[in-house]
Amino acid sequence: MFCTKCGAQISDGTRFCTACGAPVSVAASRSDAGAAEAGGADPTISMGSPQSVPGGTVQMPRPASYADPAPAGSPVQTYAPPQHQQAASFGEAPHRKASRKTRNVVIGVFVALVVLVAAAAAGWFFFIRTPAPTAVVFMIDAAGLDSSTGTRIPVHIEGEDVRGKEVSADYYLETDGSGMELVDGVYELTVAASPIAADGTIYNVADAGSATIEIEGDSGSMEGSISLDPIPAAEVTDRQIEDAYEAALAGGVDDEQRAEELRDAATARRDEAVEAEQEAQRRQEEEEARRREEEAAREQQGAYQADSFSFDIPSYWEGRVTVQVDGDSATIYSSTYPERELATLAYVSVDAGVGTDIGGAIDSTGDLGNGMMVYLYAPNYAYRIAYANLSGSTDPADYYTLEEAEELVDLQSGGTVNYTDYLNNMRDNGGTSPDQDMLLAGVQQIDIDDFNVHGR
């Protein structure tokens, strides 16, 4: 632009001519600035449509603009300071050069104006301008939840927007992820409370996780993930139901009645589950008691069942014998040598009597209450095998291997007698019989009481 007084070229925005000191036309400067502004407007970037609010539409603030320039053709008024009258003179008037002091004043005024404009722009950006919010879709996996029949998901946002302003806000998300608008910035999102599904399901918030969202212009990024798992109905607490209900009232549903209905559904679902669990526990305890009773009855009756009596076997024989039951008699054999009979039990009359000999042990229960008893017979293998050995018997029925003799004697004596010791004792005692202690030890562990016999 040029000075209207002396015609010297001066910079845009200068209020006083740096050559002659005359004021510069304000209208001319303003017209130039308006033209520059009209030609340099920035485009607007949008991430989703603005949402409407009850009673009107969302209004986005817009920056203040300069006053419209004067219409074309309008007269432009300029200001000239009053001039002192001077005496006429002939010839060209002497040209007066601006003093250094005047130039310094003009430069200082210009710098001050630039600082003021920059401060005003910064103030508008940080304190007056409100960044336009962007619709953010954030889906949270919550099995069984539908916000059209249950509640929305209450989430909490903490972070800082593009202006450096701290943000702390609550939103209520639909199951499709909508329901939240944020301005550019970085935020952490967490679930504030459990939503309530239509059937009353309450979700685990403590282990839901969190996510960091960064929004910049028309793009965004996310770190982390959030998912809501249903809490087993019987484990839901009153506090969890109440927190979910309060969140529903605050924005999870559109009316208080629906919030109360969902709270009642959650309570009923929990109570039914607790009752069912208690019923299952009661049945389990009853089944356990019945099992114990049956076990006690089996212990009383014995593990093996003949027609008229039940019985057990000595604990020392467990896993080492086989039992064959036939009507009212039972025969027990060595598992290792299945042709060798260890004991026989028979259901007989008490009038049959009980006898004994050196070749076997005989015992009985006594009267079982109906004139009958169980009779036990166990061959004395220690004596039989040792006698056949020392007498030089050639009868094949008297032949036993050493291993066989040791197994049979060990079983019948309950582990108290070793066959080789028995044989040596018998040899040292004349070869026909061991001493009395050894003789009794060989079979005395076979006792009818060890068989836990009971009449049926």
- Would you give per-residue pLDDT tens digits along the chain (456 residues)? 677 777 777 766 665 676 676 666 544 444 343 433 333 333 322 323 333 333 322 233 333 333 333 333 333 333 344 444 443 333 344 445 555 555 555 566 565 565 565 655 555 555 555 678 989 999 999 999 999 999 999 999 999 999 999 999 999 999 999 999 999 999 999 999 999 999 999 999 999 999 999 999 888 899 999 999 999 999 999 999 999 999 999 999 999 999 999 999 999 999 999 999 999 999 999 999 998 887 776 666 568 999 999 999 988 999 999 999 999 999 999 999 999 999 999 999 988 877 666 777 778 888 888 899 999 988 889 999 999 999 999 998 889 999 999 999 999 888 889 999 999 999 999 988 888 888 777 666 678 888 989 887
Rounded CA-CA distance 334/9 in Å is: 129
pLDDT at 352: 80
pLDDT at 111: 57
Taking the C-alpha atoms of residue 220 and residue 201, their distance in angstroms, rounded to an integer, is: 32
Residue 402 CB contacts under 8 Å (≥ 6 apart), including other chains: 419, 420
User: Pick from 356, 375, 363: which is nearest to 439 by CA?
Assistant: 356
Closest CA to 19 of 7, 32, 28: 7
**Residue 286 CB neighbours (<10 A):** 10
Residue for token pair 């009642």: 264
CB 361 within 8 A of CB 446: yes
Burial of 257 (0-12, 13-18, 19+ CB in 10 A): exposed
Query: How is 1-17 classified by DSSP, letter by letter?
Result: -B-TTT--B--TT-SB-
Detail the DSSP E strand segments found in 26-120: none
* Residue 102 CB contacts under 8 Å (≥ 6 apart), including other chains: 21
Q: How far is CA 406 from CA 321, 343, 424, in A?
A: 15, 17, 14
Q: What is the pLDDT of residue 298?
A: 61
The shares of helix, strand and coil residues in the chain, as percent rounded to the nearest 5, are 35, 20, 45
Report the alpha-carbon distance of residue 114 to residue 199 in Å, rounded.
66
Please state, in angstroms and rounded to a whole number, the distance separating the CA atoms of residues 158 and 453.
79
pLDDT of residue 198: 97
pLDDT of residue 413: 86
Token code pair at residue 412: 């019948």
Q: What is the DSSP letter of 49?
A: P
Contact 342, 443 (CB under 8 A): no
- Would you tell me how many other CB atoms lie within 10 Å of the CB of residue 248? 29
Structure confidence at residue 2 (pLDDT): 72
- How long, in residues, is the chain? 456
The partner residues of 56 in beta bridges, in order of sequence, read 53
pLDDT at 431: 87
- pLDDT, position 20: 72
Contacts for 359 with CB less than 8 Å, ≥ 6 apart: 379, 380, 383, 384
Query: Phi and psi (nearest 5°) for 52?
Result: -85, 155
